[in-house]
Structure 1
Amino acid sequence: MAFHLKDREGRSAICATIGALVLVAATSGCSSTTGGAPPCLPPAYSLTPTEAKPGQSVTVAAADADCNPRYGKNARIQVSVTDATGAEVVKTTSAMNDAGGFSYTFVVPARTAVGDAAVTAVPYNIDWCDDTGRNNRVAGARDVPFVRVSCVVPVKPLAITR
């Protein structure tokens, strides 16, 4: 029986050691890094005008970022407009430069409900949300489905009138 007890104590010590190693390995991947470039989020965008009727033009635009997001020469911005009823009335992509600057003009569709619409503009088909403090784009990856992480999508209100 003493052999059985020692065997159990030995296994417990091994399991505790393995558990500690797994814990250290798991938490080391979550540690913050020092130095390097700060997070580089997409530049803030604006709407002109902020009130429009169906049939009128609205421009969504952003200046280049103050950092270097490196979106690439074929970068796109995805612009979406959701009206007051929750219907998505605009969903398209447009050219964006390497530094995140863009300008896109759309005509408010006739079917757009009166009230506050929500306009979003986010970099298309990339994981732009850098809440890790590092550039989180996968270098050289092709055909990799990117998924936005924990950041909130910026939304600008657009008042639709008749």
Structure 2
Amino acid sequence: MSQPCLPPPFSVSATTATAGATVTVAASDATCNPRYGKTAQVQVTLRDSNGVEIVKELAPMNDQGGFSVELHIPAAAAPGPAAVEAYPYNLDWCDDTGRNNRVGRSATAPAIERVSCAPSVQKFLIEP
């Protein structure tokens, strides 16, 4: 049995988009065995050039970490550089050693916090 591993990298379908447009955020299956389970989800967040969180979505993610979700860019989004962040929801996070710190989530489990690892972020441009 292989060891757990970190989430696969994701991409954004466009390098530029206008407010009101839709972009797809997706990841292929990992080449390792993350074992996320049948009910796994990914949390995808979009921040505009002001750093304002303008979209926050939960989407299904398969056992290997693959997913695809469409994000609608709100008309009120500030034009300029934007950032998309995606990570497994309520499952795990990493530390700077690259380990998968999988934790079980239950009503009595403590909240999951990112330790010191930089989030996986893809940037693109929101045009006026």
Residue 24 of structure 2: SS of its match in structure 1?
strand
| Unpaired runs of at least 5, structure 1 | 1-35
Q: 2:112 aligns with which of 143, 146, 149?
A: 146
Deviation at 1:142, TM superposition (A): 2.2
1:130–1:41 Cα change, 3 Å:
farther
Q: Write the letter of the residue equivalent to 2:24.
A: T
Q: Write the letter of the residue equivalent to 1:154.
A: S
Deviation at 1:137, TM superposition (A): 1.6
Deviation at 1:127, TM superposition (A): 2.0
Deviating beyond 4 angstroms after TM superposition, the runs of 4 or more aligned structure 1 residues are 130-135
Aligned 8 A contact 1:53 1:161 in 2: yes
Q: Write the letter of the residue equivalent to 2:87.
A: V
Q: Deviations over 1:21-75 (max 9, x none)?
A: xxxxxxxxxxxxxxx73x6111000000121001111000000011111111111
Aligned 8 A contact 2:92 2:100 in 1: no
CA distance in 2, matches of 1:133, 1:60: 23
Q: Write the letter of the residue equivalent to 1:107.
A: H
Q: Specify the alignment match of 2:38 in structure 1.
A: 73
Q: Specify the alignment match of 1:5 in structure 2.
A: none
- Please show how residues 8-47 of structure 1 align to structure 2 within 5 Å: 37=3, 40-47=5-12
1:132–1:82 Cα change, 3 Å:
same
Q: Which has the larger radius of gyration?
A: 1
Structure 2 length normalisation: TM-score?
0.88
Deviation at 1:158, TM superposition (A): 1.5
Q: 2:93 aligns with which of 128, 150, 153?
A: 128
CA distance in 2, matches of 1:126, 1:53: 33
Aligned 8 A contact 1:127 1:137 in 2: yes
More strand by share: 2
| Unpaired runs of at least 5, structure 2 | none
Structure 1 length normalisation: TM-score?
0.70
Does 1:103 pair with 2:65?
no
Does 1:160 pair with 2:117?
no
Q: Write the letter of the residue equivalent to 2:125.
A: A
Residue 136 of structure 1: SS of its match in structure 2?
coil
- Which fold has the larger relative contact order, with Cα–Cα distance below 8 Å and residues 6 or more apart in sequence? 2
RMSD: 1.9
More helix by share: 1
